[in-house]
């Protein structure tokens, strides 16, 4: 059973290396694909130097589109999606996320932060289906189209799809893990604007993503 990790990344040079280094410790993962989504910093060269296969997009197309590009270049049976800005990721987190899917218990797992930072823990407790940390059988994704339209709403749209189609999924705790918040990356004003844009894309995704 082949497993590939796909990391959509936009200007994540400060954190991408550590995420890839954790994945490189796992023999279960045959390939790590980083899709640099129009990044203007050193995301792509840093990811390449860390050992990932890098796909560079010339313009920013959004998270859903970047994930779709990764899927199109991946021949694995199981896909592990991870965000590029994770803090505290360990091999154990990855194995725990993969285990229920690899064992056949479920078709998709969703990683939920627990005990990392209050702000990110609270956000995922309120809206767990926003999590970008997932393991999923690639066959589940075959009937999804228009992923690029969903952008930041891709995780919510994917969860909505599996729920409506009675595809089994389960949540997995990711203790002591968190991520860099938009306000920390961009500053308060730009971060708030980016967050509001993300929420708009999430709401829109529920009406735009379709099935083949």
Please give the average per-residue pLDDT across 122-135, as a whole number: 68
Angle at 199 between CA 119 and CA 40, to 5 degrees: 85
pLDDT value at 121 more than 60: no
Quote the DSSP letter at residue 115.
S
Q: Does domain 3-211 have CATH number 3.30.750.24?
A: no
Spans of all domains in the chain: 3-211
Indicate the pTM of the whole model.
Answer: 0.80
H-helix segments, the chain: 13-23, 43-49, 63-72, 91-102, 118-126, 138-141, 147-150, 154-164, 182-186, 188-208
Length of the chain: 212
Q: What is the pLDDT of residues 150-202, one digit of tens each?
A: 545 577 778 788 888 899 999 999 998 887 765 566 555 665 665 566 655 55
pLDDT value at 39 more than 70: yes
Q: What is the pLDDT of residues 78-119, one digit of tens each?
A: 999 999 999 999 999 999 999 999 999 999 999 988 865 545
Please give the average per-residue pLDDT across 51-61, as a whole number: 96
Q: What is the pLDDT of residues 9-34, one digit of tens each?
A: 999 999 999 999 999 999 999 999 99
pLDDT at 131: 82
* 107 vs 129, residue with greater confidence: 107
109 in Cβ contact with 85 (< 8 Å): no
pLDDT at 74: 92
pLDDT at 50: 97
pLDDT value at 68 more than 80: yes
Candidates 209, 192, 173; CA nearest to 67 is 209
């Amino acid at each position: 059973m082949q497993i590939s990790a796909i990391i959509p990344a936009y200007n994540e040079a400060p954190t991408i290396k550590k995420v890839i280094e954790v994945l490189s410790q796992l023999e279960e993962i045959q390939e790590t694909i980083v899709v640099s989504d129009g990044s203007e910093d050193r995301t792509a060269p840093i990811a390449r130097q860390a050992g990932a296969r890098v796909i560079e997009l010339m313009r920013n197309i959004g998270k859903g589109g970047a994930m779709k590009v990764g899927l199109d270049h991946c021949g694995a049976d199981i896909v592990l999606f991870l965000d590029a800005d994770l803090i505290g990721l360990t091999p154990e987190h990855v194995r725990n996320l993969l285990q229920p899917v690899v064992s056949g218990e479920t078709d998709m797992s969703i990683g939920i932060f627990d005990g990392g930072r209050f702000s990110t823990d609270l956000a995922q407790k309120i809206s767990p289906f926003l999590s970008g940390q997932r393991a999923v059988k690639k066959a589940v994704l075959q009937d999804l189209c228009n992923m690029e339209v969903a952008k930041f709403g891709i995780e919510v749209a994917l969860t909505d799809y599996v729920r409506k189609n009675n595809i089994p999924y389960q949540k997995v705790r990711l203790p002591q893990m968190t991520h860099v918040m938009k306000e920390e990356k961009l500053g308060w004003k730009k971060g708030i604007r980016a967050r509001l844009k993300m929420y708009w894309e999430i709401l829109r995704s529920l009406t735009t993503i379709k099935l083949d």
